[in-house]
Amino acid sequence: MKCWAKIARRASLPHAATRLLILALLGAIAHSQDSTQEPTLRSQSNVVLVPALVKDAQGGIVYGLLAKDFIVEDDGVQQPVRLDETPEGQPISLVVAIQRGRRAYAEFPRMLGLKSMLDPLFSLRTARVAVVEFDSKVDLIRNFTQDASLVEDDLRDLQSGDDGAVILDAVNYAVGLLKKEPEDRLRVLLLISETRDHGSHAKIDDTVAAIGQSNAVMYALAFSPALSNILDTGRGTNKNEEHPTIDFLDLAYRTAQAMRKNVPSTVAAMTGGEYELFATRKKFEVRMNDFTNHLHSRYLLSFAPKSPHPGLHQIRVRLKDAAVGAVLARTSYWAEGTTQ
């Protein structure tokens, strides 16, 4: 910049402006030719963000990778990939969506550690947390707040609901909340529910589109009513239930079919998040610790698709050296049709 200033002072005003413009253009061209150097954070609407978590064979997090270490394909076509810089201490917007309907009340004792496990997020003083509960309807219990005590009170006062479990409706609602948050924030949905939807009004195609259009990551902690009932029968902790016998649940597009079988698992895979089952309080706490530890461990990959066809696109992310580890990344995005 000092050199440019000297040139500008020596030249007449029109020539100085011309030279500065040429230098600026040359600098921009040089920067665009090297996409593997200093990463930058971009938020253009035509850029597809692909948060990616890399784990080694032992389940540990792999750090220190570069853009050149990843291969990203859009509908089978390899894309030029960038590794965008995640600002240190990036602010987080988190929606905690908890099922209260059907047999979810039996899981509440296993979730007692939830409020304390959110403390590391609040301690950053940049996290905003909202609480959503659902049975046959979805209720916003607490809009985004930085007050940990309010969220703790909400989670402490969980009440059982009716016979519904509108997981798709809850996901749609939570994604809608997150899309209103500023783009510079990490948008996260923590869904705690059973695996099967019961009674949602949202269409699967609409849910797939909403998820594909968002840059949110979903973590799912799921419980199986059948498995929990088996365990609770053995423990003798469900003697007051109307139907203590084991209830075996019956088990378009591949995504729609998968979502019909297991909504949390499918949505987590679509967003590049994580899905885990829990049947004990200890297992729940382990999974919650993983959730908080992995939030800032993701590589923020991105690519700019050229004239993508409208609708759902399949994304595949892998490492050039597969021996380094396995990649968890979003498996799809949704492209809107262009308007003339």
Q: Residues 261, 303: one domain?
A: no
117 shares its domain with 260: yes
Same domain as 274, residue 145: yes
Are 137 and 283 contained in the same domain? yes
- What tokens does 203 get? 């269409």
Give the pLDDT score at 47. Answer: 84
Domain co-membership, 181 together with 304: no
For 163-181, what is each residue's pLDDT tens digit? 999 999 999 999 999 999 9
| Lateral strand order in the sheet of 275-277 | 138-145, 128-134, 92-99, 186-194, 217-223, 275-277
Q: Which residues of the chain have pLDDT under 70?
A: 1-45, 86-89, 225-254, 256-257, 337-340
Same domain, yes or no: 193 and 123? yes
The answer to whether 189 and 97 have CB atoms below 8 angstroms apart is yes
Output the pTM of the full model: 0.73
132 and 217, same domain (yes or no): yes
Spatial distance between the Cα atoms of 247 and 14, rounded to a whole number of angstroms: 82
Give the integer Cα–Cα distance in Å for 99 and 313: 30
Residue 32 pLDDT: 39
* Whole-number pLDDT of residue 337: 65
Q: Which of 112, 59, 161 is nearest to 285 (CA)?
A: 112
Helix count (H) and strand count (E) of the chain? Answer: 11, 14
CB 189 within 8 A of CB 219: yes
CATH number at residue 257: 3.40.50.410
Domain that includes residue 80, residue range: 48-86+298-335
Q: Is 280 found in the same domain as 194?
A: yes
Residue 5 lies in a domain: no
| 3-state DSSP assignment of residue 246 | coil
Give domain status of residue 132, yes or no: yes
